[in-house]
Amino acid sequence: MASGTKVLDRMRRNPRGDYKIEDFEIVCRSLSERRVRLLKPRRGSHFKIGFPDGTILMVPARNPIKPVYVKRFVDIVDDIIDIDET
């Protein structure tokens, strides 16, 4: 199983890769101390990713996940990491 930092680095380098919701889940688990949560859908077809600043990103459960969602996810995670490091 890949670590969260490795998956996040892979997403940064290639947002057009063949990513699944499990990859997002790995990154969210590695960022749990920063309160990034992945919420599974009760009904519907989108997962919710909640960030500590109140941002919610909706990601479709279909595979592969489109690059636009990967880019948004990486941008938000990078902003959170930058804020925590300063």
> What is the per-residue pLDDT across 37-81, written as a single tens digit (0 to 9) for each?
998 888 888 999 999 888 999 999 888 899 999 999 999 999 888
Burial state string for 36-56 with b = 16 or more CB within 10 A and e = fewer than 16:
bebeeeeeeeebebebeeeee
Structural domain range at position 68: 4-85
Q: 49 forms bridges with which residues in the sheet?
A: 38, 57
Distance, CA of 80 to chain centre: 12
Q: What is the dihedral of CA 14, 15, 21, 25, to 10 degrees?
A: 70
Q: What is the pLDDT of residue 26?
A: 94
Q: What is the pLDDT of residue 52?
A: 87
Domain count within the chain: 1
Q: What is the pLDDT of residue 64?
A: 87
- pTM of the predicted model as reported, rounded to 2 decimal places: 0.88
Residue-level length of the chain: 86
